[in-house]
Amino acid sequence: MEKRAAYESVLPYVREWIAYKVWQLRLPGVQVAIGFEDEVLFSEAWGWADVEAGRRLTTTDLFRIASHSKTFTATALLQLADAGRLRLDDTVGSFVPALVDAGSPIADATVRELMEMGAGVVRDGADGDHWALAHPFPDADELVALVVEGGAKVPVGSAFNYSNLGYGLLGLVIEAVTGTSYAEHVRAAITEPLGLTGTGPEFDPAREDEFVVGYTGLHTARTRQRVPHVTTGALAAATGFHGTASDLVRYFSAHVPGRGALLSDHAKRLAQRKAWSALDSDPAARGYGAGFVADRINGREVRGHSGGFPGQITQSVFDPASSLVVSVLTSSATGPATMLATGIVHLLDAAADEHAPGPELPADVDTDRYTGRFTTFEGITDVARIGDRLLAIDPTQPVPTESPVRLEVVDADTVRMASGNRFGSVDELMTYARDASGAIVSVRGDSGMTHRPWSVPEESPEVAAALV
């Protein structure tokens, strides 16, 4: 099966799997988009933009995408470098003279070292409680003061140290070079040329009704609380951006080499080359380039970024080699955006795997006769078409394709569990019972138990509010 067709064939199950995870994990809202070869193949939303108000989440509602902002900042700097307006080896002190005046060692760090998180700058400063909304995010003067007063924790260039303050300084660099505000420049240089109407560098009170409400997690309480929106001051370059999943798919598609005019391919390679590993003990571990996280999912190299803002967790990944892009935005402080994005990539890969184990589906089989979600007293099973295979999947797992049972069609009402974990009922049959209309009434399968159809219940705003 051609790759795009394979991806499209599994999108109905991606929709069902995410719907179940939203219900299972009591997530207020989730927005997902998937892109391939410069096109948005999938854009969906589940749950609520504002639970208490009963406002359903849509694909155009705006999320705080937090550290995705670093990719926009890095992109703007690389554009300026391509235009000859700065050099990546210029020192930050040449643009922020207050660092030189104060004698800060960070003044000698290069723009490149700050972009790659190798400048030795502390992560958030001695008082990072702006993240807990205890006080406002720092303005430019406060940012410089935080860097000057204990901001250098290791020698410049000696180690990888993720730093929001460092990216705040890069925002000041952009302002010094362009003579405009950070917000004005990134809008003119990135979001407007790409037509990203749902994306911007800071919370916009004029569009407040379009923003989702963020909520606290359930890690220390049985219920969630609303989290108010705040502006991010001089840390907008590190964490201020908002956006939609479909906008992020379009944006990261423009970072695939050979595609789009946002950056030269040379600049894209500089941004996406892994400069540091996050683990001193494992050079092959997840790491960082120049504004982009470098990672691996299911054996493929991916780039992108996550974002953690008060009440919202987000994740976008893209494959520079194939152009696949996945973006997941959640409105909870413990939202499983990375887990969901990873699971989606695994599902897409499984659908496109021409050498997947298990029997191929005959070309004339109507798989709708067998697919669905079925439950017993003990658990839940999804029977789903994944590419050219029919699989029985546990949707409660973080990676739904990790240990499937592979099914072989025997006749119109019977499949055989052809392979899988042999602690189960491999080599046995699953038989379907139907009503007069042909709808599935039950499936007798694993352990000989009767499985009955089940779907995620439609919840009223009142029920959802009680769960939150």
Sketch the domain layout of the chain as residue ranges: 3-63+198-253+291-352, 70-178, 367-453
- 250-268 tens-digit pLDDT: 999 999 999 988 999 999 9
Average pLDDT in the 441-468 region?
Answer: 82
Residues 6+ apart with CB under 8 A from 33: 40, 42, 43, 44, 59, 244, 245, 246, 248, 249, 325, 326, 327
Average pLDDT in the 207-217 region?
Answer: 96
Does residue 37 register a pLDDT over 70?
A: yes
Q: What percent of the chain has pLDDT over 70?
A: 98
Average pLDDT in the 305-311 region?
Answer: 98
Angle subtended at Cα 340 by Cα 326 and Cα 292, rounded to the nearest 5 degrees: 50
Q: What is the pLDDT of residue 25?
A: 94
HEC letters along 163-182:
CHHHHHHHHHHHHHHHCCCH
DSSP letter (8 states) at residue 83: T
Give dist(CA 237, CA 312) in Å, integer.
Answer: 18
- 88-123 tens-digit pLDDT: 999 999 999 999 999 999 999 999 999 999 999 999
Q: What is the pLDDT of residue 445?
A: 86
Give dist(CA 238, CA 333) in Å, integer.
Answer: 18
Q: What is the pLDDT of residue 71?
A: 98
Does residue 308 register a pLDDT over 70?
A: yes
Sign of the torsion angle spanned by Cα atoms 10, 14, 15, 19: positive
For residue 365, report the phi and psi dihedrals to the nearest 5 degrees: -85, 135
Q: What is the pLDDT of residue 448?
A: 87
Q: What is the pLDDT of residue 204?
A: 96
Task: Measure CA of the first residue to CA of the last residue in the chain; give whole Å.
Answer: 42
For residue 237, report the phi and psi dihedrals to the nearest 5 degrees: -70, -15
Question: Across the chain, what does the average pLDDT equal?
Answer: 95
Paired strand residues for 243:
63
Does residue 460 register a pLDDT over 80?
A: no
The confidence band for 429, taking pLDDT boundaries of 50, 70 and 90, is very high
Secondary element (H or E) of residue 454: none
Q: What is the pLDDT of residue 467?
A: 58
Q: What is the pLDDT of residue 468?
A: 65
Does residue 465 register a pLDDT over 70?
A: no
Q: What is the pLDDT of residue 94?
A: 97
- What's the pTM? 0.96
Give dist(CA 446, CA 429) in Å, integer.
Answer: 8
- Alpha-carbon Rg for the chain, nearest whole angstrom, is 24
What CATH topology corresponds to 3-63+198-253+291-352? Beta-lactamase (3.40.710)
Q: How far is CA 59 from CA 33, 37, 44, 68, 432, in A?
A: 9, 20, 6, 18, 37
Q: How far is CA 94 from CA 101, 106, 139, 242, 364, in A?
A: 11, 11, 20, 30, 68
CA dihedral 278, 281, 284, 289 (to 10 degrees): 30
The confidence band for 464, taking pLDDT boundaries of 50, 70 and 90, is low
Average pLDDT in the 144-152 region?
Answer: 93
Give dist(CA 112, CA 119) in Å, integer.
Answer: 9
- 345-360 tens-digit pLDDT: 999 999 999 889 999 9
Average pLDDT in the 374-395 region?
Answer: 94
306 alpha-carbon distance from chain centroid: 6
Does residue 438 register a pLDDT over 80?
A: yes
Give dist(CA 148, CA 133) in Å, integer.
Answer: 23
Identical fold for domains 3-63+198-253+291-352 and 70-178, yes or no, is yes
The hierarchical CATH code for the domain 70-178 is 3.40.710.10
